[in-house]
Structure formats: structure tokens, C-alpha cells
């Protein structure tokens, strides 16, 4: 009985000393598969925040352009019933149809422009993240890095999001100086 207790105590001391040495070195065990939160990387990294800001600015610009076209169309629609002669009414109705078609085209183009910028910023983040992961995981026995959004469950120590965020933000340029 004493021998079992001695072996158990020795085993516990060994486990705690190994765990303590890993924590004191600041390294976590990384397995052959790691995962990252792409949502966190996009919302918490400097490059992700900058990309989101660019998208929001473009969306606002496109909304203002569409709003101006919509106001012009509404003004024209108010003029149609007020016109007294048939040729003027006909001309205004044709102009209304052209403006309505232009508004629809502008709406579709605005949506395409925003989607294009979203793809571009996503590709920029992915490119930067790949170089960060190459550096971060160099010399480790990692075979695959997955997005946590597609992982149903994984041990928390396989999450390298914080490490990737630190590296992404460390490589980010400082805030841009305001233009004069």
C-alpha cells in the first residue's frame, strides 16, 4: 500500500513539475492541428479593423449616392401629376423610367463594389495571416490550421488565435498620420 502511495505521489510530482516548466517557459503544447478564430482575427487585428473601416466608408458613400438618386426620382414623380399638358407628362414619365433604371443599376453596382472590397480585404488579411502563421508555427509539428468556425470541438490549447493576433498587430504599421 505504501509503495502505491509513493508511486502515486512521485507521478503527481512529475506531472506538476512538467506542467510548471511548460508554463514558466511561456509555451503551450501545440499539436499537429491548430485552430484560429477568423472572426476574432478580422475584428481584433489592426489589418482587420482597417479593412472593416474601408468597407464601412465605401458603404456609407454608396448609400449617400443612392439616396441622392432616390430623392431626385421622388422629386420627378411629384412633378408628373402636376404637369398640365400630355407631351410634358410623357417626357417626365420617360425620364422617370430612365432614372428608375439608373437607380437599380447603381444599387447593383454599389453592392458589387462593396462585395469586391470585402473580398479584397479578406484576401489581404489571409495573405498577412499566412505569413504570420508561417513564422509562428515554424519548427512546430503543425500539419493543419483550421478556422474555429468550422471546428465543432477542440481542446483550448490548440487555439492559436491570441498568438496570431499578437503577431499580426506587432507587424501592423502605426496609425496613419492625418492628412493636412
Q: What is the pLDDT of residues 25-67, one digit of tens each?
A: 345 557 789 999 999 999 999 999 999 999 999 999 999 999 9
CATH class of 29-170: alpha beta
Q: Rounded mean pLDDT of 115-135?
A: 95
| Grid cell 492625418 in the structure block, residue | 178
| Percentage, residues of the chain above pLDDT 90 | 64
pLDDT in tens, 60-90: 999 999 999 999 999 999 999 999 899 999 9
Number of Cβ within a 10 Å radius of residue 92: 17
Ordered by start, the domain boundaries in the chain are 29-170
pLDDT at 27: 53
DSSP letter at 173 equals P
Cα–Cα distance between 37 and 86 in angstroms, integer? 63
Work out the mean pLDDT of the chain and round it to a whole number.
Answer: 82
User: Whole-prediction pTM value?
Assistant: 0.72
Helices (H) and strands (E) counted in the chain, each on its own, are 5, 2
Amino acid at each position: 500500500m505504501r509503495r502505491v502511495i509513493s508511486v502515486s505521489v512521485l507521478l503527481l510530482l512529475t506531472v506538476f513539475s512538467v506542467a510548471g516548466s511548460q508554463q514558466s517557459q511561456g509555451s503551450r503544447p501545440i499539436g499537429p492541428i491548430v485552430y484560429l478564430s477568423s472572426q476574432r482575427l478580422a475584428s481584433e487585428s489592426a489589418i482587420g479593423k482597417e479593412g472593416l473601416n474601408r468597407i464601412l466608408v465605401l458603404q456609407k458613400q454608396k448609400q449617400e449616392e443612392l439616396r441622392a438618386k432616390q430623392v431626385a426620382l421622388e422629386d420627378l414623380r411629384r412633378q408628373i401629376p402636376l404637369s398640365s399638358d400630355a407631351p410634358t407628362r410623357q417626357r417626365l414619365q420617360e425620364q422617370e423610367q430612365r432614372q428608375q433604371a439608373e437607380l437599380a443599376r447603381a444599387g447593383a453596382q454599389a453592392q458589387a463594389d462593396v462585395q469586391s472590397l470585402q473580398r479584397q480585404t479578406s484576401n489581404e488579411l489571409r495573405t498577412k495571416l499566412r505569413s504570420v502563421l508561417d513564422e509562428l508555427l515554424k519548427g512546430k509539428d503543425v500539419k493543419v490550421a483550421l478556422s474555429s468556425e468550422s471546428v465543432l470541438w477542440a481542446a483550448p490549447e490548440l487555439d492559436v488565435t491570441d498568438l496570431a493576433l499578437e503577431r499580426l498587430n506587432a507587424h501592423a504599421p502605426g496609425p496613419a498620420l492625418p492628412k493636412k
